[in-house]
Amino acid sequence: MPVLLSTVATTVLPSYKIFCLRSCGATDPQDLIKAGQLARADGIGFTSSAIGVQVATEVSLAIVLVEVWTKKPFIMPDQRSFDFAAEGLIYFPGTCWSIDESFDSEVMVGIKLPSGAGRYGARVAAYNYNTFLGRYEALHIGENEEYLKELTQLKRIDRETTEQYRIQLWPAGRK
């Protein structure tokens, strides 16, 4: 039975619609770039030491929940439905993960992995992506005062309507 070891929630401001969870010990900057490129093409991109995620719009703030488990967690029937999800593998040569686009300095510097360095399975699920994108596209595009008021409202963090991402990590291939 999978056991939840740690949970970290953070708010991110994506850069060019992308945020990346990466291994603090990774040394190849091309891995981070490639994760962003793959995310831009498919919504979520996995490389050996990074996970790239594309958000709905360039004005998006997103809430990201990172969970570390003892083994691959089940998708429970009572979990709310997600807009899209993907699974992959990531290698953590160091003992922590980070998200550079986070508002939390602790998350930017790095959060310790309870299970240490090694290969991890990863699942990323997006929530409220389609709703947020629909609200954004429905805005009257222009520079009038009403548009700016609606855009400001859209940027507010609200757990019911803000884009949210759950990233689940678990040790892979270990005995």
Domains and CATH numbers, the chain: 4-169 (2.60.34.30)
Decide: 117 and 154 in contact? Cβ < 8 Å: no
Q: What's the pTM?
A: 0.87
pLDDT band of 80, cuts 50, 70, 90: confident
Compare 154 and 81 and report the one with higher pLDDT: 81
Cα separation, 78 vs 66, in Å, equals 19
pLDDT band of 100, cuts 50, 70, 90: very high
Q: Angle at which helices 145-155 and 129-138 pack, to 10 degrees? A: 170
Give the least confident one: 8-17, 71-80, 120-129.
Answer: 71-80
